[in-house]
Amino acid sequence: MARFSLDEISDTGAFVRSASTFRNWISRDLNSQFPPESGRYHLYVSYACPWASRCLAYLNIKGLNKAISFSAVKPIFERTNESDDYKGWVFPESETEVPGAEPDMLNGAKTIRELYEIASANYTGKYTVPVLWDKKLKTIVNNESSEIIRMFNTEFNSIAENPTLDLYPTDLKPQIDDTNEWIYTSINNGVYKCGFAKKQEPYNEAARQLYGALDKCEDILSKQRYICGNTLTEADIRLFVTLIRFDEVYAVHFKCNKKLLREYPNLFNYTKDIFQIPGISSTVNMEHIKLHYYGSHPSINPFGIVPVGPNIDYSAPHDRERFSA
């Protein structure tokens, strides 16, 4: 039987995310099984998924669109029957069925699950996105977004349109790693620990950590343009994908309602700033995002009703230029 995130609950009622499974690396090393070749790789994403969206953001801002193709699935998980088994991420049957989603033209797969089964007949884990696919070997290279973005940052520079953009510069690596750690634990994964908790105490603890981390971000961003200084880094992209979903989804669906993103002046303007970087806004499909969260977790939202608001305009002016050098 297939598993997905809502199944990953500990005996205490807390959400505990399992690790990704496919961890191969695209490398410029001469002996690499997966060299960085133009046209060889394909990225499967869901616009709804923050982990997949950060990979898509890298594809755009590094200028890898011509070297690496991508396609998106339908926004809502589909189930096979009334039991807990499910299809998960599903491809549309035609390009017009769901705007923004596309049929799988590479393998003829109906679901992301089928791609995992092509790559490994004995696979028993979750069928998640993103999936970085090797067209030549017909297998999954990697399904861990934190590693995929590192590959996109450095290994394809010979064929990237923006090869000099380095979102993980050597002098900032320790700071980025430290920032990623607390942001992932308390914010990226923290909203899920709030939303998927099945007992009050783990929810309370997750909410405490979430808002402590958001307060920390607000303070940092009162002094500098980006989360690790006045230079855009990997940590900003990783934080952004959660923030852009916060008021539209997490505040309601995951019970993260103590304080809205719009009530944090620096965080809210920062989110607009990142959204307006060329190549970022096209990775944000709010219709897919809302349809997925409100429609894919029947134990949380049994009737699948999607709230009408708040419809925030992230293209509106912000004040972050005040930190420009």
**Residues near 48 by beta carbon (within 8 Å), at least 6 away in sequence:** 75, 285, 288, 289, 291, 292, 293
Are 180 and 204 in contact, with CB atoms under 8 Å apart? no
C-alpha to C-alpha distance for 274 and 153, rounded to whole angstroms: 17
Question: Is 145 known to sit in a ligand binding site?
Answer: yes
Question: Is 126 known to sit in a ligand binding site?
Answer: yes
C-alpha to C-alpha distance for 33 and 35, rounded to whole angstroms: 6
C-alpha to C-alpha distance for 48 and 35, rounded to whole angstroms: 29
* Cβ atoms within 10 Å, residue 106: 14
Q: Which amino acid is at 197?
A: A
Q: Which residues are catalytic?
A: 49, 192
Question: Is 179 known to sit in a ligand binding site?
Answer: no
HEC letters along 200-236: HHHHHHHHHHHHHHHHHHHHHCCCCCECCECCCCHHH
List strands edge to edge, sheet with 139-142.
Answer: 69-72, 41-45, 131-134, 139-142
DSSP 252-320: HHT---SS-GGG-HHHHHHHHHHHTSTTTGGG--HHHHHHHHHHH-TTTSTT-PPP------TTS--SG
Question: Is 124 known to sit in a ligand binding site?
Answer: no
C-alpha to C-alpha distance for 248 and 237, rounded to whole angstroms: 18
- Tracing tokens 């980006």 back to the chain, one arrives at 226
Question: Is 98 known to sit in a ligand binding site?
Answer: no
Q: Which amino acid is at 201?
A: E
- Tracing tokens 């490398």 back to the chain, one arrives at 27
**Which residues lie across from 133 on neighbouring strands?**
42, 140
C-alpha to C-alpha distance for 44 and 94, rounded to whole angstroms: 16
Residue ranges at the known binding site for glutathione = 89, 126-129, 144-145
